Amino acid sequence: MLTDKGVILVEGVNRGDLILEPLTRKIYIELGEPSLNDNQADVDRLVAALRKILGPVTVPLTVMRRVPGVLLEAGWRVTVTLGEEASGTLILMDLEPGNTTNRHYGLAVDIGTTTVVVYLVNMQNGQIMGTAADYNGQIFFGEDILTRIYLGSTPDGLEQLQRAILDTLNKLIKQLIKKHNVEAREISAVAVGANTTMVHLFLGLDPSRICKAPYIPTVNSPGIIPAGQLGLQINPLAPVYCLPSVGSYVGGDVVAGVLVSGLHLSPELSLFVDIGTNGEIIMGNRDWLVGCAGAAGPALEGGVAKNGMRAEPGAVDSVRIDPDTGKVYYTTIDGVPPVGICGSGLVDCLAELLLAGIIDRSGRFKDGRDRFVVVPAEESATGQDIVITQADINNLLRTKGAVNAALELLLESVGCDLSDIERFYVAGGFGQYLHLESAITIGLYPDLPRDRMVRLGNSSGEGARLVLLSKQKRVEAEEIARNITYFELNASQAFMNKFVGSMFLPHTNLDYFPTVKEKLIQRGLLYPNSSVT
């Protein structure tokens, strides 16, 4: 089980105050009592009163049925909950006796391929009341996204996967509402940040063409869908808004990240990177946005490296190697005996192996061995050595190479240089825990002045919170999705060329990584003025 520490926006991002204009609103209203001289029908009376304040309001049949009873019970003093239809028209979602405007709840949801996080949000003040997280129940059917796309291409498989994510979400929702004394039907809105495939599987849409040229999703902007149509156990009329995708490989989670970073509003050239199963890169400023997604490969996810594992208790999450003695110092999550190595541990390993001179800049063990023992058998929880192998290293190199190549391609396409980048935003839970210096040492992150680098934490969830609470942010999100010029790397020979050329640590051209070059020189691993070993 994951802890429920929801990592939301942390360091250094400067957002203005959020103007609260949530996906739904609650309004207390006092109606005149009907009489022989004022015999307007109940629903018409309510609609007319609301129209005066808000304009036209639609009343669904299920709510219409409840109107007379609630009005009579409440003495014509009621609180209405209003949502928006896909078209933007107001819809009467709920009616409660008396004034209940202080109980107004929504959910911000991050559906990751691996992890799902649900934030219970008080929509009256925008605050997060509680967080619940768990693995995506779809993991049972396959850890990687391609397996799920393949399974989701059959109607039965699609139904299984949709049910799995709904079960996960409903379980988390149940935990949250129980803990915070909220009733399910008091949750009147949901915003979702997720990649394109996750959105398809959540909505029960065929994902099969996402991974086949020309890579066409069923939908990028699904708009607003009532919760009841999906099977979310909250108010069945609650609008569920999925952040729009740019394309098959740049999803609503990335749009959320850009939204949270604010780079789309800034005059400065900024870079946004989310490295997970895929690596997504967005570059731009308030005038233009370009983006691409590399099949970064799941080298950093649990279960790929020989002793790789998810960031769970017992995972080696940081590693240091003494360059003189070769002794390994490590820490594990929750300090329990080591079981395996998670992503941040792997990146640390690679960086430290390079800096200790154990591997060369092409990633090969200098002494010809095929593995390095990080944790000896006698210290591990498994009774086996915990190792990083040559194959693991090669995988990591491919991942970082894909990110390098994509970034270079984007820079070239807009005629910019790495040094032009004034902000570098790192998204995702992985980005949150990765050690910055190690990531730079292996060349996964660019070697920029450190004060330009900002971690966004779970920007997919935070982006969902923003669009849950703010109409302005929804407009911005739609604009971001529409305005990103997407480069399809799957079809690019230039990408393949750059990819092959970037399989060195930290990079073929060391001048791109001045601080790493300096470190290597200090450690005697590189002669000054040489740029290739």
Q: What residue ranges bind a copy of itself (CB under 8 A)?
A: 34-36, 38-44, 47, 56, 58-62, 64-65, 67-69, 85-89, 203-206, 209, 213-223, 225, 229-230, 245, 247-248, 486, 488, 491
For a copy of itself, give the closer residue by CB, 59 or 164: 59
Rounded distance between C-alpha atoms, residue 456 and residue 434, angstroms = 12
Among 508, 304, 494, CA closest to 401: 508
Rounded distance between C-alpha atoms, residue 95 and residue 409, angstroms = 54
Pairing of strands 289-294, 115-122: unpaired
| Tokens, residue 460 | 């997919």
Give the largest Cα separation in the chain, rounded. 98
Q: How distant is the alpha carbon of residue 444 from its chain centre? A: 19
Compute the least distance from the CB of residue 6 to a copy of itself, in Å. Answer: 28
Contacts of 14 (CB under 8 A, 6+ apart): 262
For a copy of itself, give the closer residue by CB, 266 or 492: 492
* Residue written as token pair 């960086």: 351
For a copy of itself, give the closer residue by CB, 35 or 181: 35
Tell me if residue 90 falls in helix, strand or coil: strand
Compute the least distance from the CB of residue 392 to a copy of itself, in Å. Answer: 33
Rounded distance between C-alpha atoms, residue 453 and residue 270, angstroms = 10
Compute the least distance from the CB of residue 310 to a copy of itself, in Å. Answer: 31
| Tokens, residue 32 | 């005149």
Rounded distance between C-alpha atoms, residue 320 and residue 345, angstroms = 9
Rounded distance between C-alpha atoms, residue 426 and residue 446, angstroms = 11
Compute the least distance from the CB of residue 46 to a copy of itself, in Å. Answer: 10
Compute the least distance from the CB of residue 181 to a copy of itself, in Å. Answer: 29
Compute the least distance from the CB of residue 479 to a copy of itself, in Å. Answer: 15
Compute the least distance from the CB of residue 293 to a copy of itself, in Å. Answer: 13
For a copy of itself, give the closer residue by CB, 59 or 269: 59
Compute the least distance from the CB of residue 159 to a copy of itself, in Å. Answer: 11
For a copy of itself, give the closer residue by CB, 51 or 523: 51
Rounded distance between C-alpha atoms, residue 476 and residue 223, angstroms = 14
Tell me if residue 80 falls in helix, strand or coil: strand
For a copy of itself, give the closer residue by CB, 9 or 149: 149
Compute the least distance from the CB of residue 224 to a copy of itself, in Å. Answer: 9
Contacts of 173 (CB under 8 A, 6+ apart): 107, 118, 132, 184, 187, 232, 233, 234
The region that residue 431 occupies, defined by phi over 0 for left and psi between -120 and 50 for alpha, beta otherwise, is alpha
For a copy of itself, give the closer residue by CB, 2 or 43: 43
Cα four-point dihedral sign 267, 273, 274, 278: positive
For a copy of itself, give the closer residue by CB, 32 or 98: 32
For a copy of itself, give the closer residue by CB, 331 or 492: 492
* Residue written as token pair 């005996």: 337
Rounded distance between C-alpha atoms, residue 254 and residue 245, angstroms = 8
Compute the least distance from the CB of residue 504 to a copy of itself, in Å. Answer: 30
For a copy of itself, give the closer residue by CB, 157 or 323: 157
